[in-house]
Each structure stands twice: as C-alpha cells, then as structure tokens.
C-alpha cells in the first residue's frame, strides 16, 4: 500500500472513530435528558448510508469525513408543535443543557483513557531518557548536565521515559528556567540542575526539544558503514555498495556519521573522493552529491546512502505493562498530562511563546495517522489518544461556534438568570466561525509548506 493510501485510510478511520465518539457523547446525554435527536451524522455533504431507529432519529454516514453533528429538536432552529415542546433542547434546564454540551468533549477524554488503558494492558515499549552528550556552550552544558545521567523529573514531574520527558519539556516553553532532576547511571547519584531558558529557541520542524536544549540522548547511533544505496542515486552511479565502510572524504578521516552527512550536505554538485573499506580492502571512489532544497529553500547535497545503526545500549529499553486497575490509573494519568499540555499550548499560542506556524491541519494529521499505523497497533492507539484529547480540548475553547462557546453562553445564562439574546449569540457565532476558519486556513497553509 502506498504511503498516500495508508495516510488517507488511517486518517479516515481515526477521525471517523473520534468524531463518532464525540457526537455519541452529545447524543447519549441528550436522550438521557429527554431531548429528541433528529439526526446523528458522521461526515458532511451527500449521504452515503442512512437509517432510522425506533425513536425517529436518522443516522447518516456522509461523503466528507471531516466532522459530524447531532441535530436536536430546538425551537430556535425550527418551529416545534406544542405537544413536542418538552422534547426540545431549549426547553430543558440550564444544567441539563450544560451536561449535553459538555458530554461531547467528555466522551473524547474518556475514550483517550480507554485507549491508553488498552495500551498499558498490552504493554508499551519505552526508552529511558539517558543523556549521551550535552553540546558545548548549549543551555544544557552551561547548566552542568553531563553524559550518562538519566532525566528523572522536569520541574518535579516524573519523566520515566523519553516520550513523557519530551511532553514535559515542551510544556515548559516560555519559562525562564527549567529544573531537571538527574541520576547518574553508574553511581546512582542524584542531583538537580537549573536550565536558564530565557533565550531558548525551539523550532519543532528543525530540532527535537532535546536538541534545542543541546541534549543528545543515548540511542542507537548511525555508523559509517553503509546499509543501503538508493537505486539511481548519485551513490549508485559512483559504485558505492552496501557494506562499504567510509574511512575518509577528500583526505579527511571520518569517525562519525554526522561528519559524512555534513560533507555531503555542504557540497552539492561537487565531486567528493571517498576512501572506503570493502571486503577488508581499501579503495577510492569519486561521487558527486545531487542538488536539492530543504523546506526553507536552502540548497543541500544528497548522495542516496543509508547508514547501518548500532544496537540498542543494554538496559535502555523496557516495557510498561500493568494489570487491569493499574493500567486504568496510568491511562487517567497520561490523559491528564496530555490535557494539561494541550491547554498549555493554547495559552502559549495566545502569548506568542509558540508560533502559529507550528499549527497542524488535516494533512499533517493524516501523515501522523499513516506513520503511526505503519509502526504498529500501540503507536496508532497512542496517536488516537493524543488526537482524541486535542479534539476534546479544542471543542472546550470559548469560541461560540464550538461546544465551549455554547457552554460560555449557558454559564452566562446561569449567572444572569436569563438567556443571552439571540442577536448576541448570532454575532458571536459569526465571529467564532471567522476565527475558526482563519486558524484552519493557517494550519492548512502550514501543512502545504511542509510537503
């Protein structure tokens, strides 16, 4: 299956499930509170499949799988016969209406807990966040971070694995300092260091959060032995072969793969002389990297070689697997952590600590769905849990067109003792739609620029 088809199929499956869960939350609470649900639609546009249940609700699967909605009986939308007024949404108490509105995002949070619970029942492969190196003069090096130290906590919050440590560090964007708790892997000595992050610059499209702080993690390393040559590439034309060991480039000895990458990228369309070791014999070949451009428009060289990777360091990988109740507790904890991070990122967008150029749209989500699906079930469940939490958080934002906007109006009604005027609501809905369309446009443009 091509990458495009995998991305598209994974996106449709993931979004379809998450939208169904969200809308089912509204649907279930509406019925529990005696509201007549006229339509439950997954997707928009032309109906592909439709049916009705005994209570008269029309269920629809539509052609455009980019959302969904639950249409309830409501006098503000359509005329309602007197005998059916008790079934209308607007005739329910404020607290009943609040519960129906909140039920959608709540369903997404509950579903994320369920997904994470399943993951931890199966077992989640994790990697310990052990420092391999702090780059000279980096934020981490100036704070005194040393190699072979494991990151135990970020500002007092435990970071047992690389994934959690990554989320915790991203959450600190905008802070002037970050407190790290470290433990040396050989001596077991624990200590704390404080990173001065007043000048911290983090671009997720260029570096990982660890690299932006000057940290290299202990992971399998690319070696100077070639694992694969791309057919038709400059390396293939020059005669390089899998298994070749690069000893020198243009007379400069090579000790790490990063030196090979640097030489190739910095010299597009310039002939490089490679000294190789092949079958225990030295030979020399000339190769000319092809010219290409990165996402920022800078020229760089590409040779078409893939290095072999060293084995995982011993004791670095482990599996987090729990029993039924412990897995549920971990699912709750991880969902809370993702929720906290999502709200924090929204706040950082408003304060400017995170740029809108990092917003992602449907293309990036589809790529994430496809790549996680290609890795395996655990990765796909983790991706779905993350998107489910994000869907819940986004819908709670106080934009009138979202659930959070409806909730805002209902809270005002609860305080005032009377509803917000229809005119004010209409103005708010138009404003909310404009803001949402603007953000979606920015996210889509960001997606296109990353292609």
CA 361, 362, 366, 372 torsion: positive or negative?
A: positive
**Cα–Cα distance for residue pair 233/331, rounded to 1 Å:** 46
CB 16 within 8 A of CB 59: no
**Token pair 């997404």: residue:** 108
**Cα–Cα distance for residue pair 46/138, rounded to 1 Å:** 55
Residue 68: strand pairing partners: 42
Residue of 154, 177, 149 lying closest to 164 (CA atoms)? 154
Residues 6 or more apart from 412 whose CB is under 8 A from it?
420
| Tokens, residue 266 | 């910095």
**Cα–Cα distance for residue pair 163/160, rounded to 1 Å:** 9
Burial (CB count within 10 angstroms: exposed 0-12, middle 13-18, buried 19+), residue 314: exposed
CB 167 within 8 A of CB 335: no
Element (H, E) at 422: helix 422-450
Q: Would you call 23 a catalytic residue per the annotation?
A: yes
Residues 6 or more apart from 329 whose CB is under 8 A from it?
322
CB 35 within 8 A of CB 53: no
CB 209 within 8 A of CB 170: yes
Residues 6 or more apart from 333 whose CB is under 8 A from it?
none
CB 37 within 8 A of CB 71: yes
Indicate which residue of 23, 149, 171, 330 is catalytic: 23
Buried b (16+ CB within 10 A) or exposed e, 227-249: eebeeebbbbebebeeebbbbeb
| Cα distances (Å, whole numbers) of residue 249 to 232, 267, 282, 308 | 22, 12, 13, 18
In degrees and rounded to multiples of 5, residue 32 shows phi and psi of -60, -30
Element (H, E) at 276: strand 272-278
**Cα–Cα distance for residue pair 307/375, rounded to 1 Å:** 20
> Which residues are catalytic, by number?
23
């Amino acid at each position: 299956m091509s990458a495009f088809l995998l991305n598209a199929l994974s996106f449709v499956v993931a979004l379809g499930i998450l939208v169904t869960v969200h809308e089912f939350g509204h649907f279930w609470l509406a019925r529990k509170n005696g509201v007549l649900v006229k339509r439950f639609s997954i997707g928009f546009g032309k109906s592909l499949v439709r049916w009705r249940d005994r209570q008269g609700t029309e269920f629809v699967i539509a052609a455009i799988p980019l959302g969904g909605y639950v249409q309830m009986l409501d006098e503000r939308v359509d005329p309602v016969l007197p005998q059916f007024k008790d079934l209308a949404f607007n005739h329910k108490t404020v607290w009943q209406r609040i519960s129906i509105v909140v039920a959608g995002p709540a369903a997404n949070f509950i579903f994320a807990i369920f997904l994470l619970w399943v993951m931890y029942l199966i077992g989640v492969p994790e990697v310990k966040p052990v420092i391999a190196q702090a780059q000279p003069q980096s934020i981490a090096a100036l704070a005194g971070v040393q190699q072979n130290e494991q990151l135990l906590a970020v500002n007092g919050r435990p970071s047992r694995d690389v994934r959690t440590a990554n989320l915790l560090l991203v959450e600190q964007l905008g802070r002037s300092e970050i407190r790290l708790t470290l433990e040396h892997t050989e001596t077991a000595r624990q200590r704390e260091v404080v990173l001065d992050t007043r000048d911290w610059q983090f671009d997720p499209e260029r570096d990982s959060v660890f690299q932006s702080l000057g940290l290299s993690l202990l992971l399998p390393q690319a070696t100077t032995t070639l694992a694969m040559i791309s057919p038709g590439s400059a390396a293939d034309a020059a005669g390089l072969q899998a298994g070749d060991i690069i000893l020198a480039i243009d007379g400069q000895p090579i000790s790490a793969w990063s030196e090979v990458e640097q030489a190739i990228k910095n010299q597009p369309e310039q002939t490089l002389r490679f000294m190789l070791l092949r079958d225990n014999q030295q030979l020399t070949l000339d190769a000319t990297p092809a010219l290409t451009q990165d996402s920022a428009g800078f020229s760089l060289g590409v040779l078409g070689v893939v290095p072999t990777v060293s084995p995982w360091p011993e004791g670095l990988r482990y599996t987090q697997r729990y029993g039924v109740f412990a897995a549920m507790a971990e699912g709750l904890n991880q969902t809370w952590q993702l929720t906290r991070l999502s709200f924090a990122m929204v706040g950082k967008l408003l304060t400017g600590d995170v740029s809108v150029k990092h917003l992602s749209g449907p293309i990036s989500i589809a790529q994430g769905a496809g790549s996680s699906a290609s890795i395996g079930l655990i990765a796909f469940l983790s991706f779905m849990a993350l998107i489910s939490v994000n869907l819940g958080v986004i819908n709670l934002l106080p934009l009138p067109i979202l659930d959070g906007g409806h909730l805002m109006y209902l809270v005002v009604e609860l305080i005032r003792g009377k509803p917000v005027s229809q005119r004010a609501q209409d103005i708010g809905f138009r404003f909310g739609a404009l803001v949402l369309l603007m953000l979606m446009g920015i996210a889509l443009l960001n997606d296109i620029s990353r292609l």
